[in-house]
Structure formats: C-alpha cells, structure tokens
Amino acid sequence: MIPSATSKAYARFQLNRTWLDKDEAASAALRRMKDILDAPAPYGMVKDAESLIRTAEGLNTALIQERRSQALQSVELQVGKVQVEFDDAKASADLRNQCLYPLQTLKRQIESQSSVAHIERAGQDAIEAADEAFRKIEVTTKAIEPSAADGDPKVYVKPRRIVKASAIAPKGFLETQADVDGYLDRLRQELEAAISAGARVEIR
C-alpha cells in the first residue's frame, strides 16, 4: 500500500464523512489515515493503511447500502401512490410515462450514487415528483363531475390538498392543554375546510 492509494481512499471517504464520524471505528480509522498522510515520513506507518482502508470501506459500503435501501423505499412508496391515482383516473399510457419518468430517474440516481447526501436528497425529491404527477393527473382529468345522464360517465378525480400538520402549530412545542386544544382546533378547521371544498386531504 502506497501513500497515494491512501490519499485517494481518504478523499473518497470524505463524501460521507459526516455520517462515518458517527461510527467510532470508522472515525478512528479516518483519523489514523489522516495522521499517516500528514506525517513527514509516513513509510513506517504505511503498513497500517491497508487495514484502515478496509475498515472504513466496509463501514462506508454498509452505510451507503442502508441509506440507498431507505431512499428506494421512499421512491417506491410515491410510485405506488401515483399508480393508484392512474387507475382511478383511467390515465393514458402517455400520461403514465410522463409522470413516472422523473421517479424512475430518481431510482437510477439512487442506485448509482455513492454520496449519502445525494442519495437522501433523491429520496426526498420523490415527494416533489409525485406531487407533480398528481398535478398533471388532476389537470388532465379537469376534475369533471360524473353525470348520471351521461351514457359514458366522465372520470372524476378529486383535487388534492396537502395539509402540513407541523406548519399549523403555533410554536415549536406544545406545553399546555390550551396549546393542544388550540392546535387541534386549527387542524380541524383546516381539514374541514378542505373536505367542504370537495378536496382530498394528504397530511404531512
């Protein structure tokens, strides 16, 4: 093992340094690698580098696999929601392809990324991609009410309203019964207003 190989490995691990430093073994291995790289005459320590890289590599790989699995589950959850909406709206193949393409792109990004930050971001972006898919479906169906007099009833998809429960809270913490009652009253008003307007509610 030569110092340049250690340097390359150390630089690669910096992508996920924030997460690796939370693991005692990984953090210790990275600190020792830095000592070797900073030493004016590191050749007596180079013998340790292979073991240190192997330790950090194993933990880094496990970290990536864990976060990748979580992100892919997030994407699949959004795909499932959109698929249900397709079926309810009797969406065309073209519309399905338009809506699913961004989600499929995110899956490919997650599967090829080695940066935990980028993997997690792609998982979060799936929510926005699904929101855009819902918007396209709603626009396409134009929310036309079915008519009993129509021999071929039109598809009707209720508009969706997203209610962010945490945004309704008046402050960061609810500390008293009055805080709880006030929060629940505001949440109920928001939900009832959405239902009265003929919308479906998704709580986040």
Q: State what percent of residues in the chain have pLDDT above 70.
A: 91
More confident residue, 165 or 45: 165
More confident residue, 144 or 200: 200
- Between CA 194 and CA 189 the distance in angstroms is 9
Average pLDDT of the chain? 90
* Percent composition of the chain: helix, strand, coil (DSSP 3-state, to 5): 75, 5, 25
**Which CA distances in Å does 203 have to 35, 60, 187?**
50, 35, 10
Across the range 11-31, mean pLDDT stands at 97
Check: CB of residue 190 under 8 Å from CB of residue 163: yes
Q: Long-range contacts for 176-182 (Cβ within 8 Å, ≥24 apart)?
A: none
Q: What is the mean pLDDT of residues 96-111?
A: 97
| Residue 2 reports pLDDT greater than 70 | no
Give the confidence band of 151 by pLDDT, cuts at 50, 70, 90: low
Give me the long-range contacts of 115-120 (CB less than 8 A, separation at least 24): 115/15, 115/16, 116/15, 116/16, 116/18, 116/19, 116/63, 116/64, 116/67, 117/15, 117/16, 117/18, 119/64, 119/67, 119/68, 119/71, 120/67, 120/71
Mean pLDDT, residues 145-161 taken together? 65
- Residue 81 to residues 18, 39, 84, 100, 195, Cα–Cα distance (Å): 33, 55, 5, 11, 20
Q: Which of 22-26, 122-126, 149-153, 180-184 has the lowest mean pLDDT?
A: 149-153
Taking residues 84-91, what's their average pLDDT?
Answer: 90
* Adjacent-strand bridge partners of 201: 161
Look up the pTM and report it: 0.79
Are 107 and 66 contacting, i.e. CB atoms less than 8 angstroms apart? no
Helices (H), 41-176: 49-89, 93-112, 116-141, 165-168
Q: Which residues contact 153 (CB under 8 A, 6 or more apart)?
A: 146, 147
Kindly indicate the confidence band of residue 183, based on its pLDDT and cuts at 50, 70 and 90: very high
Task: Look at residue 143 and tell me whether its pLDDT is greater than 90.
Answer: no
Cα–Cα distances (Å) from 177 to 164, 167, 173, in that order, read 21, 19, 12
Query: What pLDDT is attached to residue 44?
Result: 77
**Are 190 and 167 in contact, with CB atoms under 8 Å apart?**
no
Question: pLDDT (tens digit, 9 = 90+) per residue, 36-56?
Answer: 999 888 777 778 999 999 999
